[in-house]
Chains A and B, each alone.
Chain A
Amino acid sequence: MTDRFEPLIIGFTCNWCSYRAADLAGTSRLKYPPNIRLIRLMCSGRLDPTFVLKALSSGADGVLITGCHPGECHYIEQNYKALRRYLLLRRTLAQMGIEPERVKLVWASAAEGARLAEEIIKMVEEIRALGPLNWPAADGGRGTGDGKYPASVIHPPSEEEVTA
């Protein structure tokens, strides 16, 4: 146990490329830090910016968006739409006073398990350097605003801790 800040990152993956890259990273027994938790979408084009804001407001310190390389989208061109939304989203975040670096877009094909793992390692370090996210706006949700909860929770609490 150390006092080092452990960021929590939500990763959105595309069913056709980056989710399979994550699978490949696993089958190849590559290693990356456990600070990331992945969600599967059918396409990076499915990514509603609301999902990102929801994740950040609910305790994530960063969001990784992944998709097929430009020109390789399973649905022809939807990753370009994801790119467009991503750029817009970063601007919005900046306006809200949140470091836009907390959200990152990475292309990873189904063959690029190693690349995905590398990007995850890099992103965890980058977010660690940024520190915990202080979600600025009250979103009506829970557990936000104090900048602590539950961003640094890597272990879910044990029964004793809660009752203690």
Chain B
Amino acid sequence: MDTATVETQPPRVRGEGERPPLPPLPPPPVVDLGFLKEVVEATAGVSRLEMCIQCGTCGGSCPSAADMDHTPRQLFAMVRAGLRDEVLRSNTPWFCVSCYHCVVRCPQGVHITDIMYTLKSMAIRAGYYKDATAPDFAKTFVYYVENYGRSFELGLATRFYLRHHPLRVPGIAPLGLDMLVKGRIDLTPRRIKHMDQLKAILARAAELEAAQ
């Protein structure tokens, strides 16, 4: 050990003999304590997410809690803890059926459904979801709206099913046939008159959102 090395060592504790340096500490877990604020700010209206008292009313009320990676309550605790990646990878927001039961029952008035929408769009942007079914359904839906101004069930169903549940198409097809027989499905999409106007509005909105 040459003198130069000794000098760069931390100062010795008084009264102790010379000791070898301590090994380096492992890095702390990756947390993003600004995540809560980010989620709150990205949600329209007043989310009150910071008011959660972890009582579990949401998780108890949720019709699809059984299929979620985390209950909504756990997800909010994770948002608070700054576990950004785990939150955006969780399937929980994608299993939210927008039933608003938790919203009206929440004793703290947290706008849970709107927070789920926020987390969904954050997850899409981050490209973090592991199962693309739900995001793709949303995107397919958006495709029809952006091109026709209306949703189109048949197109939506076929486009989406062929991609995600090709094996289920034969099972579902008779159902579609039934609908056709009953006159409940259009074969071609309908387009609104002023599609150009809608496109202009959506384009401007997208610009404004990107600017944020």
Q: Do chains A and B touch in the complex (CB under 8 A)?
A: no
